[in-house]
Each structure stands twice: as C-alpha cells, then as structure tokens.
Amino acid sequence: MRSRPSPHFARGKRPERRPGKAGSKRDLNRKQRTHDLGEAALSLFLERGVEPVAIEEVTRAAGVAKGSFYRYFEDKTHLVRSIVEPLAGAVRTAMTRTTSALAAAKTESALRSAYRTLAEELVPELLPKARVVRLYLQESRGPRSGARAPLRELSDEVFAHALVLTRAAHSHGLLRDLSPTVTATAVVGAVEALFFRFLEGENLGSPAEASEALISMVLQGLGTPRDELPARH
C-alpha cells in the first residue's frame, strides 16, 4: 500500500533541513550560504528591483545550485524578509524608545531632545545597513503583493510608529492643530527623501547636521507658535 505524501510536499514546500549544532561546520556553512544568497539578491534587487529578479539569477550570482536555494529560504518573499529584518529591528527599537521619551515630553525643548535622540540612535544603525536602507527607499512604495511585501510591511510599521510619536506630541500641545496623519506623513516623507539623497552621495553635511536641520525645520513648521506653548514647570 502506498503511503500518503507529506503535507509539505503536497503544498510544494521543502521539508526543513537541520541546521546542525551551533558553531559546527554544517551550521557555519549554512550561515555562509544564507549570507551569500542575501548579498547576491540585494545587489540584483538594487540594480533591477525585487520583482523582475528570478531565484535562478540569485543562485547563479551567489554560486549556489538553484535547487539548494530551498534549503535556506521557502521562496523569494522569505529571502526579502531575511534581508529586511535587521533594518526593521533597528527601526523598531529606536522608535519604541522615542515613544516613551515623547510620552513624557511637555516642552518644546523636551520634544526636540526626543527627536534628536531618535536620530542619534537610528543613524549609527542605518549607515552600516545603507544598501538595505536604499532597497527599502527604492521599493517601499510599490504594491503590497509578491516578494515586495516585507518592504511594504516595514513602510507601514514606520508610519505607524511615526503616527504614535506625532499623537504623543499633539497630546501635549507641542504641534499645531493639524491632522496627526498628515503631520506624520509629512515628517516620514521628509526624512526618507533626505536619507535617500544622502545615500545618493549628495553633499548634505554630516548625518548629525542634516538631522538637526530637519528637526529644526519640522518643529518650526509644525510646532505650536511660541506664544501658545504650554508653560514650563
């Protein structure tokens, strides 16, 4: 009597491979192959976009047999997610900390300090991940479907955090009486445009100087007029 096929094979999925004991040769080889595939894919994605690049092109560029791709990733979406996740984690951590600082900010000075802290935490995290940041900026406004989905998910998460930060500032009367959604959209757009131009090599000064200039412009443009600011205690 013939046995039933595994449900994994029925859905076209490969069974999971044992990664080997941590630090073993097998584990190290797996990490190296995963890294090589990610780097090859990132280069191709930056050159041509996520959707047009085929898995076979990624494996060829990485020097890996096409069939072995599925030992490391379920599909191209999983590959993109693995590339994006370190960046997503850094953004998530920095913005969560800033949310706490903004929740306690009751003066313009405290608001400026909270935004400056966000920039100081994010910039050192983003610069070593510049190629991934560039991919995010390049692809994050595309459709949510397909392998681009993890990039759109990160874009949605960035905006959700920005909206929380904006509402916290609004709650203390530190921003003009505008829609928090509009305010957050304007700030995120300005930050992303600035960073994209920086990665393109434009002379915008140091990241710290550019961040400080942007914070000043945002607070001057969106901040509550000084005669309406809450009194300091």
109-164 residue pLDDT tens: 887 788 888 888 888 888 899 999 999 999 998 888 899 999 999 999 999 988 98
* One-letter amino acid for residue 220 of the chain: Q
From 49, 71, 93, the end of a domain falls on 71
Identify whether residues 86 and 146 lie together within a single domain: yes
* One-letter amino acid for residue 211 of the chain: S
Task: Write down the mean pLDDT value for the chain.
Answer: 82
Number of domains in the chain: 2
pTM listed for this prediction? 0.79
H-only helix segments in the chain:
7-10, 25-48, 55-62, 76-104, 108-126, 130-139, 149-171, 180-199, 207-222
Which residue range forms the structural domain that includes residue 181?
81-225
| Radius of gyration of the CA atoms of the chain, in A | 22
At residue 94, does pLDDT exceed 80?
yes
Identify whether residues 42 and 96 lie together within a single domain: no
